Structure 1
Amino acid sequence: MLCPPGVYRAEGDTAMLTDVMCRGGYALDRDVLDVGTGSGALAVAAARAGAATVTAVDLSLRSVAATWVNARLHGVSVTVHRGDLFDPVAGRRFGLVLANPPYVPAATARLPRHRTARCWDAGPDGRALLDRICAGVGHVLTPDGEVLLVHSAVSDTDLTLDALDRAGLVPQVIAKATVPFGPVMRARAALLESRGLIGPGQREEELVVVGARHA
């Protein structure tokens, strides 16, 4: 998968979400939206898993370009839009929404716009994008549509479940996996400990895939 500088490189969280999507047949014959697509790895995987159509959105121009190229390199059709979360698809509905947003707690609430850190920085609690996705995703789902999103439990899984519930959806944790901290989390371990987001000496995190659908 082509991944130029400044574009999120698909890692374990992307692989985990892809595995859940493929094993559960979530994308088959559905119109799929990949929000915050990065390199387009999830969008390409959805197309290869039998999606009827695939639309990908990212705020980063480099990510939009990378997704366009990767879709063509893999011989699949993906429509790519540049924009903020659901804005480029306002008024449309999808049978499946995929999201692997930035979720790493950062030093400040200010989100980077033009640095590699934009791929993972998500405010002091890691929820700057997660909360917006949870609040807005119901408006782009078909009546029988579903959302699948992945993040670290450091960003509080219960808050994600509560946010989706408040949005009128029925959420559940579909998959969990404990993995060692990557470079960014290791570098911020002291910060996370000081905020009580991880325990003393903790150097592993639990990744979760959360799914939700309309009640």
Structure 2
Amino acid sequence: MIYNYVDALKDSSSEEKKRWLFVVSSQSYAELLSKVNLYSVIIPLAIDAEEVRKYKVPADKNNRDIIYFGNVYREKTEQYYKIWETLTRLGWNLTTISMRDISPLEGHANPPKTLKIKGAEAWKEISRYKYGIGVGRCLAEMYALGLKCLVSGNSFGGIVMSSNDAKEQLLRNYRSDAYTFTDSIETALENLDKSLTPQLDIGTRSKDVEIIFKDQFKHMGLLETSSL
């Protein structure tokens, strides 16, 4: 959809472009708009973390148990197998929460069965684990429950080891289209205990959002400094 707007507005006057302010979820969309002098603000991924934490139960899984949370769509299948086979080879036990069955992949063993649960039931199950795997909102919910996580969806996104890693991941909405710290699953697992659990909580984001909008309105010449 955003590409349609880019094509329609790219040759508009500067005044016409000031009538448009796009709210986007990632740096890549903001860069696309900027190339044709269109304005945007980035409002990254956030969840109601407190709601998720209501369903936390005591962890009872061992240090070789890990849970994958998120629907394994066709485009995620190949990367899922890479994760699963690496974990199996290294002696890890993988549980998968996905409302979709995992498609067989030629030349590989039959995929594991999935737990088809969601919402509170899923959060209770996830909170039993110390480690998780996922992207986007599912990853944010695992972080809210305190899990140390591998970022993995269509590709492998590494782990979060620093505040800079967290910032880079957030600008991409934790989509795994690039990695932080390492692109090696094995290296990520070796360092998983030292990784961070960023909290993507909407409750702490509202003031930041207000500042983001005001800064952009000022940049567009639509808000005087005295109004801030």
Q: TM-score under structure 2 normalisation?
A: 0.32
Is the helix fraction higher in 1 or 2?
2
Q: Higher RCO, 1 or 2 (CA under 8 Å, sep at least 6)?
A: 2
